[in-house]
Amino acid sequence: MPGLASAHPLGEQLPAVYADDALTLRFVSGLDVVLAPLFNVLDCLEAYFTPSLAPEDFVDWLADWVGPELDGSEPLEARRRAVASAVALHRLRGTVEGLARTVHQAFGARPEIVESGGAAWSGRPLGPFPGDPVASLLVRLPVPEPERVDPHRLHAVVAAARPAHLPFTTEIVRSGPGGSGPFDPPHPSHSSHPSHPPLPPFPLPEGR
């Protein structure tokens, strides 16, 4: 780093007998050039672990630590946001909110999610089970320019953030006026990528 001065020059820390020795002072000043970047890093160490301030190469290194859903093609600011929010998103992994936030972070649009789960309570026994017995997940991403979104990237992001056992389908549609209209299940002609066939209904015991 040309021109970077050491915060702790070695010449100032030598015994007084060397204070007037020009050769010695010139010699240790060469070591100051070597040590200055190290002192600079240590003095600013907190900034290196702050995603909004860290150098670009260090942001990518931090990403290896916290595991955000990145493919390396995102702009620097998007990578900074992904690293900063990765730990919080890991706490929500496998939930509808966690999936929605992960997709929004990767593509800048809030997805529409339909899934087969459900929750209910009943004051009497033998009530109907909530949700759909066939496990499924549909993630629909409305964006202004669907042709600019990589459907394989969306598929990979959803695959990483969904519950591991849940089969899913993704769809990219046009948002705004003249968009997709009512929310319908994806047709094979759309940019859809089913991960695997839906699971069969879970058999229920007789007399439930």
Residue 42 domain-assigned (yes or no): no
What is the rounded distance in angstroms from the CA atom of residue 161 to the CA atom of residue 176?
Answer: 26
pLDDT digits (tens, 9 = 90+) for 141-198: 999 999 999 999 999 999 988 988 889 999 999 987 655 443 333 333 333 344 434 3
Number of domains into which the chain is organized: 1
Of 4-18, 87-101, 103-117, 191-205, the one with minimum mean pLDDT is: 191-205
Of 30-44, 92-106, 154-168, 183-197, the one with minimum mean pLDDT is: 183-197
Residue 180 domain-assigned (yes or no): yes
Residue 26 domain-assigned (yes or no): no
Residue 136 domain-assigned (yes or no): yes
Residue 153 domain-assigned (yes or no): yes
Q: What percent of the chain has pLDDT over 70?
A: 84
The tokens describing 20, both together, are 């007037």
pLDDT at site 130: 87
pLDDT at 22 over 60: yes
The tokens describing 203, both together, are 């058999």
Q: Collapse the DSSP code of 112 into the 3-class scheme (helix H, G, I; strand E, B; otherwise coil) and give the result.
A: strand
Domain hosting residue 186, numbered range: 96-208
Residue 49 domain-assigned (yes or no): no
Please give the C-alpha separations between residue 177 and each of 70, 142, 173, 181, 182, in angstroms, as whole numbers.
Answer: 30, 11, 12, 9, 12
Residue 41 domain-assigned (yes or no): no
pLDDT at site 179: 52
Asked if 84 and 52 touch (Cβ cutoff 8 Å), the reply is yes
Residue 143 domain-assigned (yes or no): yes
Residue 27 β-bridge partners: none
Those residues with Cβ within 8 angstroms of residue 130's Cβ, 6 or more apart along the chain or in another chain: 117, 118, 119, 120
Where b means 16+ CB within 10 Å and e means fewer, 40-60 reads eeeeeeeebeebeebeeebbe
Residue 174 β-bridge partners: 143
Asked if 169 and 197 touch (Cβ cutoff 8 Å), the reply is no
pLDDT at site 200: 40
pLDDT digits (tens, 9 = 90+) for 45-64: 888 899 998 988 889 899 88
pLDDT at 124 over 50: yes
